[in-house]
Amino acid sequence: MRILVVENDRLLSEALGRRLIEAGHAVDIFATVADAEAAWRIAPYDLSIVDVMLDDGDGRALVRSVRAAGIRTPTLMLTARDEIGDRVSGLDAGADDYLVKPFATEELLARLRALRRRSPEITATELRIGNLLYDPHSTSLTVADRDVRLTAQEHAALDKLIRAGDRVTPKQMLGEHVYALHQDWSDNAVETLVHRLRRKLSDAGATVELKALRGLGYILCETRS
């Protein structure tokens, strides 16, 4: 998944970023309302984590603004104040969940998983195509009941491709899903990533094909017998 973190505590944001990256996600981190809002309007995020108190304003105002623009990214708000009024105002602004600092990282990750499950595009706990079985919540992949190990970027690419179903995923869209804004990436990087993923699926005996459609993008489909 691609996750937006809006937090002005540098130590906390860096710790969250590391933990989310270790879990296989692309993460963009910003400390201000202005930077976060600009990123939010150009990048397709799957989840967001927003602190209430930011360097240049209020996180609730940020969420209210992007909701007014029609952006429905599931959002978890963070606050140092454990008062009913603060939580209510955050939820009324458009947040989907609330977490009070200090918190356990495992609880935050569990809340993110819960928010992701509520997303309209998540309709099953497991995704199948051919003899490939993918669990988006544990990011586990099996091919013919055999576990297949993927890198974090390969998992992100597979997640995007398998959810697309019979729709083509443009190369630009795949790159934006896999890589964070601060990461330099190119068409060649996406092509190399797809090549690695295709080889791992083939080596595992997957009855699926990761096709490249020139000028259009990529599609994951069952191999024709």
pLDDT digits (tens, 9 = 90+) for 163-189: 888 889 999 888 888 887 767 788 899
- ∠ CA 58-27-183, rounded to 5°: 120
Strand ranges inside the chain, DSSP E: 2-6, 26-30, 47-51, 53-54, 57-58, 75-79, 97-100, 127-129, 132-135, 140-143, 146-147, 208-213, 217-222
Mean pLDDT of 97-106: 91
State the pLDDT confidence band at 61, using cuts at 50, 70 and 90.
very high
State the average pLDDT over residues 59-76: 92
Q: How many whole angstroms separate alpha carbon 160 and alpha carbon 176? A: 11
The pLDDT assigned to 120 comes to 52
Asked whether the predicted pLDDT for residue 97 surpasses 60, the reply is yes
Predicted pLDDT of residue 124: 53
pLDDT in tens, 122-133: 545 678 899 999
Residue 154 has pLDDT above 80, yes or no: yes
Q: Which domains are assigned to the chain?
A: 2-118 (3.40.50.2300), 127-222 (1.10.10.10)
User: For residues 81, 85, 87 and 90, what is the CA-based torsion angle, rounded to 10 degrees?
Assistant: -110
pTM for this model (two decimals)? 0.70
What pLDDT shows up at residue 11?
93
Q: Specify the higher pLDDT residue, 5 or 24.
A: 5
Average pLDDT, the chain: 87
Confidence of residue 29 (pLDDT cuts 50, 70, 90): very high
